[in-house]
Amino acid sequence: MKNLIVLFFLILVVSLTYATPGDILRSQSLTGQPANGVRGLAMDWDTGLIWVAGPVAPNNITYATMDPVTMSAGTWTAVASDLGWVFDIGYGFDDMGTKYLLMNDADSPFTKLIDPANGSYYTSLPDYYTTDDYTDGCSVDWDNNDVYLSSYANPDVVYYDGSSHSIFASISGALNMGAAVGWEHLFILRTSAYYTIEVYQLDGTFVESIPLTGWPAGNYVLGLSCGRVDAVGDNETLFFADFITHQVHEIEVGNYTSVSLTRSTWGEIKAGFVSSPDGNGSPSMRSIR
């Protein structure tokens, strides 16, 4: 019996270590979240926490931070500005030394800058997509302050460099619902009927398409954030949400940190990495800038 228990434990450890990218590891609602769930997620690389946001009523948005290890949320704060809705969010866009939350709204201007300290509206980014397109994905590259945007109805994934937009990639079929930048890669979440995460290097090279394993048809997905490093063996995770269950989900992806840390600018700043509250080894940009 003892040998059987040991064998079972070894099988469990091996299965966790070598689980398949695309597997959903955890799904749950967040304490205190809006009734219709979370709509946007964004990593805070300074703290290792994830910003989450969602609508509580028309023109009323609330946001908090989530611990990626425990999936517990902090205090929810109302956005003081008049937002029509919120799709994905980004975090870390630096303007005059302040890092802002970027919230994709249904009403133009579509990408609004919100001060995370008090929820106040600061300004907005120029629109790239139209009202009919929808601006559904948003993420900030902390290395150069570029903002990556994606759209449900427009195949172009673009980045804004502070003065203009440029096309990063074109994904046929569109339905692109979330964006996340981290570990020298851009991740684009796609919804029904694709249910994949498209992965690119930041030089524009396509890496792979990761199917959401066994995802139910009709469960529209949205929002995307980088998650934990080495969560399953050497593989990282991402977090996203969905319209139907109103839960936040953690999905396993590939091993991107070991690749990115051996090349490019991140490989030159290993000393800037610190132990964050979740132990995910997030880079402290304060020590880099």
Note whether residue 23 is domain-resident: no
Q: How many domains does the chain have?
A: 1
What pLDDT, on a 0 to 100 scale, did the predictor assign at position 276?
33
Does residue 13 belong to any structural domain of this protein? no
Separation of alpha carbons 142 and 147, rounded Å: 9
The pLDDT, as a whole number, for residue 18 is: 52
**What does each C-alpha distance from 188 to 101, 136, 208, 279 come to in angstroms?**
19, 10, 11, 25
Whether 112 maps to a domain, the answer reads yes
Place of tokens 């009202």: 131
* Per-residue model confidence (pLDDT) at position 230: 95
What whole-number distance in Å separates Cα of residue 243 and Cα of residue 200?
26
Kindly report the backbone phi and psi dihedral angles of residue 117, in degrees, each rounded to the nearest multiple of 5, phi listed first.
-70, -35
In a domain, 10, yes or no: no
Determine the pLDDT at residue 22.
97
Are the beta carbons of 67 and 53 closer than 8 angstroms? no
Task: Give the pLDDT confidence of 14-55 residue by residue, as tens digits.
Answer: 344 456 999 999 999 999 999 999 999 999 999 999 999 999
Query: Does residue 6 belong to any structural domain of this protein?
Result: no
User: What is the CATH number for 124?
Assistant: 2.120.10.30
| Residue 187 placed within a domain | yes
SS3 content of the chain, % helix, strand, coil (to 5): 10, 40, 50
- DSSP bridge pairs for 91: 101
Find the domain containing 90 and state its range.
Answer: 36-287
User: Is residue 114 one of the residues assigned to a domain?
Assistant: yes
Asked, for residue 148, whether it belongs to a domain, the answer is: yes
Q: What does DSSP assign to residue 232?
A: B
- Alpha-carbon distance of 166 to 173, in angstroms, equals 19
Low-confidence ranges of the chain (pLDDT < 50): 1-17, 261-289
Specify the pLDDT at position 96: 94
d(CA 101, CA 3): 53
Hey, what are 165's tokens?
């937009």
Nearest-angstrom CA–CA distance, 175 and 21: 21
